[in-house]
Structure 1
Amino acid sequence: MNVEGRIAGLTTTLAEALADVAQRVQHSLVLVQSGPRGSGSGIIWRPNGVVVTNHHVVAHGRPRITLADDREFAARVVVNDPEADLAVLQLDALGLPAVTIGDSRHLRVGQLVLAVGNPWGQRGLVTAGVVSGLGETAAQGTRRAVPYIRSDVGLAPGNSGGPLVDATGAVIGINSMIVGGDLSVAIPSHVAGALVADALDRRVILGVGVRPVPLPATIRGQIGAAQAAGLLVVELAPNGPADRA
């Protein structure tokens, strides 16, 4: 086979592989509706009804979730992180098609990525691009450094909260916004994963519901804390370890 034939064969194989990846991720994509301000996207993080989306997508009312199979659920916001623009939701459902989570700490500029979301209410649309940059930005009003991924995937209103995936279909980011008209920003999956673990795994052990809140400068000064945020206890599981303590 000549060089042109080999290239054509590789191109066809890559195209088919990416189509398979997109279809697989679409099964885990959800439509998020909250309040009167339109809709966004989310991704099934765990099969027991855990969904991750953007904070700004669920900031205007109790969210309702529509799955890829058109089932609808009322969602409970477990934790919000406005600084990272992330939210963790809980559905009363089991056996959902969760995505594979990748490790965004190993991302490299130039890697191929896909964005899957619901722009303008059109469900499951896919766009492709490459990672353009990796960095951190200071959260407004705090000293917290929030990592981000920049890419040239096409996003539009409704893509917010949807997954950014690598060529294997592993989620490596949560799409958040568009900057400069042609660059998209996503929150890395390791940031979202840490929020899920803090909100759910620690809660299972201690029976405590918490959410992150900014620490006022006066409190930071009194306790000598360098971090800009702390955890506010908002719920105790009845007869759980924390409740019995």
Structure 2
Amino acid sequence: MNAKRFFFTFAIAVVTAVSVVYVYSRISNNEPQIITVKEQVPAIGQFASAQVQGNLPDLTYAAESSVHAVVHVKTRSSGKDYYSNNPFYEFFFGPGSGYRQQPQPVMGAGSGVILTKDGYIITNNHVVDNADEIEVTLNDRRTFSATLVGADPTSDIALLKIDAEELPFVPYGDSDNLKIGEWVLAVGNPFNLTSTVTAGIVSAKARSINIIANRNQTLGVESFIQTDAAVNPGNSGGALVNQRGELVGINTAIASRTGSFTGYSFAVPVTIAKKVVADLMEFGEVQRGLLGVSIVEVSNVTKDQADELGISIDKIEGVLVGSVAPNGGAEEAGIKAGDIILSVNGEDVNSVPELQERVSMHRPGEKVNLIVLRNGKQKPFEVTLRNIRGTTGIISSNKFDETLGATLEAVSTSDLRRLGVRYGIQVVEAGNGSLRQSGVKEGYIITKVNNMPIKTVGDFTAAVSEAQDGLFLTGIYPNGRVVYYAVNLAD
């Protein structure tokens, strides 16, 4: 009986084991299908992730190659004298009496970008405007006194020079090739924090916000690159670089109601900055070629105005010529009020900033080719640009040809400090013109012309252009002797 029970139990165990093996084998045979299905989902996720990673730029090279060439610019200027009404004074000396309050120094800070190995540095004009002393601190913490070579308020660009060699610098890029959505880096010194790098994309190009005109009470050349890279006070004059570490703009302004970054920043494109720097290096002031027209956005033209001018505003393109200056390049070429400028040298212009940027790249005497829409037909014109005086010649502030015949240069901060003066420009060569005839000798540092402070060669040029018959110079020689000269400009 026990034997039968044993064999019966054994048979059940064998059948059970066979069943388990069969079921297991069936499950095992289906497992690759299950795995295959489950593997397909992660594969899709991995592919999407890899695609995103491929589109994210590696900005480390751009940061490393540019951060050492961006400097910290510190300025010092004297405050203004002012009178203070004091009840104590008024009690003893009568109403309206007061005393002169001593001026307090005003400190400022910004950024700059090294352009050459021998120490030329670009920054914003508003960073160094009215500065008596300019100090530059490199990324390696070396500090130099800087000389203001020249400045252009209309583009908010200034050029500095420090006495150094073998400096790291940022090469020029091409801001024309920037695309909307392209990644860029803003490198500067916000809030006195050195070597700060922020990233963003190009949000718009050829943007005008009227900040230069409002700041300088003059016509500004604005065709900003708009980005969402964080820019704050102290970033002004710093670098906007592309992914290759090339300079494509000079960070200049932010759109903010708080004074700090709130979403958008604006940079002067390198197409404008590069030409300004070249002019300042060569001539001491900007050589701005002018078309000789007033221009208006086509989008701002009303239907009545359009009908009066005989133009269509159904398609917004080009820039409308509002008026033509007499004896200017545009009038000479045959351009008329009511014409619509469609392109400059083959480049389309559909806004005032775009047209300003294209023309600002050229000097007086150079020719530009325009395509103009008139009475529904396109016509080509060749315009010879004029300077602000209405001629095609170069306005040189270094060489004052027949009238003054002198070569003038900026004075180093150390020489100014040694002589106890805050600003001035130096006569390197007196030439054979009016300055030498008036007794001016080489080495003379001009501090004032007709009682106007002279801080740059551009200031001197402006004073000469405003003078009627002559100049009264105030200045000092390197030996400390203060001398005054009267220079006759009359024919």
Alignment TM-score, normalising by the size of structure 2: 0.42
Match status 1:45 vs 2:111: no
Deviation readout 1:193-241 (Å, 9 max, x if unpaired): 10111111x34xxxxx34679xxxxxxx8985866589562671645xx
RMSD after superposition:
3.1
Match in the other structure for 1:218: none
8 Å CA contact retained: 1:161, 1:176:
yes
Match in the other structure for 2:264: 183
SS state of the match for residue 233, structure 1? coil
Where do 5+ consecutive residues of structure 1 fail to align? 204-208, 214-220
Q: Distance in 2 between matches of 1:24 and 1:146?
A: 28
Q: Distance in 2 between matches of 1:190 and 1:25?
A: 19
Q: Distance in 1 between matches of 2:74 and 2:176?
A: 30
1:70 offset after TM fit, Å?
Answer: 1.1
Greater helix content = 2
Structure 2 CA distance for partners of 1:224 and 1:45, relative to 1, 3 Å: same
Which residues in structure 2 correspond to 1:124-203 (within 5 Å)?
124-137=195-208, 140=213, 142=218, 145-180=221-256, 181-200=262-281, 202-203=282-283
Deviation readout 1:30-49 (Å, 9 max, x if unpaired): 00001233311101011111
Match status 1:28 vs 2:69: yes
Match in the other structure for 1:206: none
Q: Distance in 1 between matches of 2:70 and 2:112?
A: 6
1:8 offset after TM fit, Å?
Answer: 6.8
Match status 1:71 vs 2:147: no
Give runs of ≥4 in structure 1 deviating > 2 Å: 4-12, 136-146, 209-213, 221-232, 242-245
SS state of the match for residue 33, structure 1? strand
1:114 offset after TM fit, Å?
Answer: 0.7
Equivalent AA in structure 1 for residue 267 of structure 2: A
8 Å CA contact retained: 1:31, 1:118:
yes
Structure 2 CA distance for partners of 1:136 and 1:142, relative to 1, 3 Å: farther
Equivalent AA in structure 2 for residue 3 of structure 1: F
Q: Distance in 2 between matches of 1:27 and 1:149?
A: 23
Percent identical pairs in the alignment equals 34
Alignment TM-score, normalising by the size of structure 1: 0.81
Equivalent AA in structure 1 for residue 151 of structure 2: N
SS state of the match for residue 107, structure 2? coil
Which residues in structure 2 correspond to 1:200-219 (within 5 Å)?
200=281, 202-203=282-283, 209-210=284-285
1:135 offset after TM fit, Å?
Answer: 1.3
For these two proteins, the number of residue pairs brought into alignment is 228
Equivalent AA in structure 1 for residue 407 of structure 2: L
Structure 2 CA distance for partners of 1:123 and 1:82, relative to 1, 3 Å: same
8 Å CA contact retained: 2:230, 2:265:
yes
Match in the other structure for 1:233: 397
Q: Distance in 1 between matches of 2:193 and 2:247?
A: 21
Q: Greater Rg, structure 1 or structure 2?
A: 2
